[in-house]
Chain A
Amino acid sequence: GAVVSQHPSRVICKSGTSVKIECRSLDFQATTMFWYRQFPKKSLMLMATSNEGSKATYEQGVEKDKFLINHASLTLSTLTVTSAHPEDSSFYICSADPRGGGSSYGYTFGSGTRLTVV
């Protein structure tokens, strides 16, 4: 089945530093990937839609200069949290739709990244 690999699974960083999270589709090409964040016991919040070869589409209220997204190939999207602060501590999850387009059998999610900013 379709697999999305996400790394790292956990990261602790100091306040003010930047952290890069990678999301790879291992056995399919993903022209579009999605980035979510999730706070404890809360649902997924879509942050942005990552489009291969073009700029990401950010949801309202998400700072594009803080959460940099690069989708340089059909199998790799990265999310960089710049100048991280403790309030950025969260669970970040990427996903992709193996079918793509408007017909979907559902998303495949990466394993998530637990970011802790100290």
Chain B
Amino acid sequence: QKEVEQNSGPLSVPEGAIASLNCTYSDRGSQSFFWYRQYSGKSPELIMFIYSNGDKEDGRFTAQLNKASQYVSLLIRDSQPSDSATYLCAVIRNTGGFKTIFGAGTRLFVKA
């Protein structure tokens, strides 16, 4: 089992729709959770971080965390073609020392 799992996609949504990206993690002691966006040929950029159970909203982005289910998601409202990218879920694992573990990423296509 991978430590951080994401559906590789591609996930295709029409412009204006809600894109839902999911991530599960294996280390129950993990405390910090991040979503990064990576455009093709570019390095990742941080979109959001979340520490507490529940929802965290920032503009069109909402991160959702459920520690009991070891599940974190990212919702993108009013998706735009410019949102087309690979979204990486990352988790800081506390077991064995602090270490950031990245998922393999979900490719998102927003169709105009």
Contacts and interface: CB of A to CB of B under 8 A. Distances in A.
Interface of B: 32, 34, 36, 41-46, 49, 88, 90, 92, 98, 100, 102-105
B104 A110 contact: no
Interface string A36-61: 00000011101000000000000000
Contact of B43 (A46, A102, A105, A110): A110
Given A104-B32, A104-B92, A106-B34, A44 B102 contact: yes
Contacts of B49: 104-106
Nearest to A6: B43
Nearest to A97: B100
Given A104-B32, A106-B49, A107-B100, A43 B43 contact: no
A109 B102 CA distance: 13
